[in-house]
Amino acid sequence: MPPRIKEITRGFAPGIGSAGRVRLRTLSNLRWLAIAGQSAALFLVYFALGYSLPIAYCAVAIAVSAALNTLLALRYPPSHRLTNREATFYLAFDVLQLAALLYLTGGIANPFALMFVAPVVIAAATLNLGNVLILAFIAFASVSLIAIVHKPLPWPEGEALLLPQLYQAGIWTALVIGIGFTSVYAWRIASESARMSAGLAATQLALSREHRLAALGALATAAAHELGTPLGTIAVVARELERALPEGSAEAEDVRLLRAQAERCRAIIARLANPEEAMLGATARLPLGALLDDIAMPHRGEDLDIVVTVTPPSMSRSGGDNAQPQVWRAPELLHGLGNIIENAADFAQTLVAVTAGWDDQYLFIAVADDGPGFAPEIFEALGEPYITSRPGHHAVGDSDMGPSGLDKHEGMGLGFFIAKILLEQTGGEVKADNPASGGARVTIRWPRGVIDGTQPPAQLETS
C-alpha cells in the first residue's frame, strides 16, 4: 500500500495520536447539561418535595463541576481538541463528581445511579482501549464504594426506605453489567466505524490518483493540439530561410538545426496527441485481452508468470460474432483489476491465470493463483477493510490501530476492499472462492454494455 494511504488510515483509527477525537466544547456542553439536571433534581427534591438531604454539600459538588467548566473555558478555545489523557482525566472527574453526589443522596439506591453509564460510553466511543479500561475501572470502583458506604436516600421525614440486601446486590450487578456491556458495545461500534472510514478514505485517495492521471493525459493531448500549429509554422519558416541562405554558411546550418529540432518537437507532440501511442498510455477503449495484458504487465516478474486467456463464446451462443468486447479504460476499472491481480501475484507461487470471457448477457473476468488460497473462516468478512485474505498473514487488529502498529503490516487488508468498492462502482459483481484445483480465485461479472457499452461506466452512473 502506498505510504500516503497508510497515513490517511491512521487518522481515522479510534484514539490514535496525541490529539484525540473529542473537542473541549463537546465535553463542556455535556457537563453543563449534567450540572443543570443535577441542580434541577436537587431543587425539586429539597424544596418542592421537602425531603431532607445535605443540600450544602451537594451544592459544593455541583459548584466544583461548574468551576472546572469555567476554568477550561477561560484557558482553552472552544475548538481545542483534547488529548486522550486529558479527555480521560475530565471524564474521570465526571464519574467521581457523580459518585460524590450519589454518596450524599442514597448511593446506588438513587435512581440517578444509571448516569454512571454516560461518561464510560462517551470514552468508549472516542478514546482508545487503554483509556476506556481505566475509566471503566474508576466507574466500577465508585459504584462498589457507594454501594457499601453512603448517606440515606432522601425520603419523607419520619420514614425510611430500607431496600433488601439482595435487591441492592441486584442493583449493583445491573450497574456493573450495564457499564461493561454498553462500553464494550460502543467501543466495538466506534472501532468498526473508524476502520470503515479509514478504508473509504484509502479508496477515495486511490481513485483520486487515477483520476489525476487520466486528467493529466487529457491535458497532454490538449497541449499537443494547441502546440501543433505554432510548431508547424516554425518548421515552414525555417525551411524557407534554409532555402534563402547560401549553402554551407553558418546561418544555414543554424536554420537547419532549428528546423530539425522543430520537427522533433512535432513528432513528440504527435505521439502525445495519438491516444494509441501516448506516453501516459491510454486509448479510451481497448479490446478485452489487450486491456488485461496492459493491467497485468507491471506485475509480471522473472519468477512469476501471469497468463491472460480470453475465451470467446461458442458460435451457437454468440451468433457468429467472436470479436472481443471493447472495454473502457475507466480509472475505477484499471485500479480495481490492478489491485486484484497484484494481490494474486503477491501470494502466487509461480502462476497467476487471468481468464476472460463473455456471452450475450455478461462479461466476466477471473483471476486465479496457485498460492495458499483464502482462509475459509474469513469468507463472510472478505471485502471489509483490515481483513487479511490468506492464512499465515496477521490482520490489523484493534491493538494495532496506531502508528507503530500499522507500520508493522505491509498488507493491511485494504487492497481487496478497495478493489471491490471500485469494481462495484463500475457495475460489477465480485466473488471470491477457493477452486478445487487449489489456490484462490476472484471472479468479477458485469452485465453487457456496462463497461463495454457506448459510454464509460462513470457516465452510465451519472446519466
- For residue 463, pLDDT over 50 is answered with no
pLDDT, tens digit, for every residue of 142-190? 999 999 998 888 887 767 777 888 888 898 999 889 888 888 888 888 7
- For residue 411, pLDDT over 70 is answered with no
- For residue 333, pLDDT over 80 is answered with yes
Greater model confidence, 212 or 2: 212
Sheet holding 440-447, edge to edge: 305-311, 351-358, 362-369, 440-447, 429-433
CA–CA gap between residue 113 and residue 99 (Å, rounded): 8
- For residue 278, pLDDT over 60 is answered with no
Lowest mean pLDDT among 109-123, 315-329, 355-369, 378-392: 378-392
Please, what are the domains in the chain?
3-206 (no CATH), 285-462 (3.30.565.10)
Task: Give counts: helices (H), strands (E), the chain.
Answer: 14, 9
Q: What is the dihedral of CA 417, 423, 425, 428, to 10 degrees?
A: -120
pLDDT, tens digit, for every residue of 105-149? 988 888 888 888 888 888 888 888 888 889 989 999 999 999 999
End-to-end CA distance of the chain: 33
> What average pLDDT does the structure give for the chain?
78
Question: Cell for 406?
Answer: 500499522
How buried is residue 341: exposed, middle or buried, by Cβ count under 10 Å (0-12/13-18/19+)? Answer: buried
CA–CA gap between residue 269 and residue 394 (Å, rounded): 49
Rounded (5°) CA angle 284-288-289 = 120
pLDDT of the residue at 286: 87
- For residue 218, pLDDT over 80 is answered with no
